[in-house]
Amino acid sequence: MPRPRSLTETEIAAAALAVIDRDGLDALSMRAVAKQLGTGTMSLYRYVEDRAQLETLVVDLVLGSVDYTLPPRAPWRRQVSILLGRARDAVAAHPAAVPLTLAHRHASEESRRLGETLLGVLAGAGFAGRRRVIAFRCLLGHLYGALQLDNLGPLAGPGTAALAELPADRYPLLAETAAEAVGVPPEEEFRRGLALILAGFPDEPGGPG
């Protein structure tokens, strides 16, 4: 009987991501990934302990495509925009996997790498103590929040269209804004929202807490 071929974590993650991209997150299972790889389910347990580890490998694969090299002479706001824009693009390419990036952000090595890089930019700009904590949390909130919103309730989706049809005499601003929102693509929504957030950050973030 031939010996089962060795698998790498990257191959396993790629197979899991292929299942998610094709059939959705609910379809992800050890059995489905084993089938994708052409191996037995029990053989897969030689490399992966459980579904949680499998999902973490997927997050590592998705965020592993991010280029963390930033232009050293660029202003810090520009560095943040570049970094988070790259992360957003990497995750948005696999919409069904979006929930995993938030659920496993503490366990994923690549997620920790993203966090460390972002904190490096903030620290270099002078953010320290609680200011750095709040700035970090705010920026990651926009990244993950925008991804979740685009996945669950995109501006171009039926929810926005329904709001645009509300009676203008009762909801004039909501109807008008929704009608405009239908034409805003996800990339523009993320980029311009991030610009608004960064514009509110202090030019000299140093100082107590």
CATH of the domain at 41: 1.10.10.60
Which three-class secondary structure state does DSSP give residue 156? coil
Q: How far is CA 74 from each of CA 71, 78, 114, 193, 197, rounded to the nearest angstrom?
A: 6, 6, 18, 20, 18
What gap in Å lies between CA 77 and CA 43, rounded to an integer?
Answer: 47
| C-alpha span between 20 and 30 (Å, rounded) | 12
> What pLDDT sits at residue 205?
82
Is there a domain that residue 90 lies in?
yes
Same-domain pairing of 14 and 81: no
Question: 124 pLDDT band (50/70/90 cuts)?
Answer: very high
Whole-angstrom Cα distance, residue 106 to residue 56?
9
The pLDDT-based confidence of 2 (bands split at 50, 70, 90) is very low
Percent of the chain with pLDDT over 90: 89
107 within some domain: yes
